[in-house]
Amino acid sequence: MAETMGLYLVACDRLFYEGRIEHITVPTVDGELGIWPHHEELFIAITMGSLRFTKEGGEVTEVFVTDGFAEVANNRMRVMVQTIELPEEIDINRAREAEERAKEALRQKRSIQEYHRSAASLARAMERMKQASRHSH
pLDDT tens digits, one per residue of 88-132: 766 667 767 767 777 777 677 677 777 677 777 667 776 776 777
- Helix and strand element counts for the chain (H, E): 2, 9
Write the burial class of residue 120 (CB in 10 Å: 0-12 exposed, 13-18 middle, 19+ buried).
middle
pLDDT tens digits, one per residue of 8-24: 999 999 999 999 999 99
Alpha helices in the chain (DSSP H): 92-107, 112-134
Q: Residue 46's beta-bridge partner residues?
A: 68
- For residue 127, the model assigns a pLDDT of 74
Q: Rounded to two decimals, what is the model's pTM?
A: 0.70
In the predicted model, what is the mean pLDDT of the chain? 85
